[in-house]
Amino acid sequence: MCTCFQFLYVASLVTTISDVFPNTLRKPGRHEVLVLIIVLICFLFGLLLVTEGGFNVFNMIRMHGISGAGLMFIACFETITIGWIYGADRFYDNIEDMIGYQPFPVIKYCWLFVTPLFCVVLIIYSLAMPWIYPGLWITKTAALLMLAPILCIPVFVLVPISKDQLDFTTPASDLKQARPYKPRLSLCKRVILGGRKPDSKQADEEKPAAESTSGV
């Protein structure tokens, strides 16, 4: 089971890096070299776990590196972004366009309320637990492991905002929108986030079509 997870983690990391640099890494032989480099780096870091204090290092990584408050913060931020910024109703339309039907309606309220609240409770519980480590350096390293993935979120948010603030919440041009002018989020028949407004050119094109349809 552990071997399967190791293959999964390495494959996910290799795929992510290859997607970021497709022109460089998607060439014959580059994929194998990238896998070799990642495996060697992981092997060298893994040697720390077989030392005398390896259990403390392992416990630090387990509690603050791949789980705990950092992971819950990422999950909370993702659901808030999907539900309250991008729009839960718009995301429902994207899913319907991909699979042919809308998911169970309760999922919308999980995005909006249940999951963020659950993540906040777990974050508070994780931060309230005492950090008992034998040295100050390992405590600082644990805090750095927890903050590293969290700090990536505001950085990658501020960069596109600084480039184009108006189109930050606008879907990409190659992402098909089945109902582009429908409200992005509505609760209890009240519009919370409005949809995209048609420009004057699109309105002029749709008006003759509507008149011809009414005439028939």
| Residues with Cβ within 8 Å of residue 64, at least 6 apart in sequence | 70, 142, 143, 145, 146
Structure tokens at 159: 């960069």
Query: Residue 145 to residues 1, 136, 138, 186: CA-CA distances in angstroms?
Result: 25, 14, 10, 38
- In this prediction, residue 141 carries a pLDDT of 80
- Residue-by-residue pLDDT tens, the chain, 216 positions: 556 667 877 888 888 898 888 888 888 888 899 999 999 998 998 898 888 888 888 888 877 776 678 888 888 988 998 999 888 998 988 888 888 888 888 999 999 999 999 999 988 887 787 766 666 777 788 788 888 888 888 887 787 777 765 566 666 666 777 777 788 888 888 888 887 776 655 444 444 444 444 444
- In this prediction, residue 157 carries a pLDDT of 79
Q: CA-CA distance, 163 to 20, in Å (whole number)?
A: 19
- What pTM does this model have? 0.66
Length of the chain: 216
Q: CA-CA distance, 216 to 116, in Å (whole number)?
A: 51
CA nearest to 82, candidates 68, 66, 99, 103: 103
- In this prediction, residue 211 carries a pLDDT of 45
Q: CA-CA distance, 16 to 184, in Å (whole number)?
A: 29
Q: CA-CA distance, 38 to 71, in Å (whole number)?
A: 22
Task: Please state the separation of Cα 164 from the chain's center in Å.
Answer: 20
Q: Which residues pair with 191 in a beta bridge?
A: 186
Task: Please state the separation of Cα 16 from the chain's center in Å.
Answer: 13
CA nearest to 56, candidates 117, 126, 141: 141
Q: CA-CA distance, 87 to 195, in Å (whole number)?
A: 9
- State the Rg of the chain over Cα: 23
Q: What is the pLDDT of residues 32-90, one digit of tens each?
A: 999 999 999 989 988 988 888 888 888 888 777 766 788 888 889 889 989 998 889 98
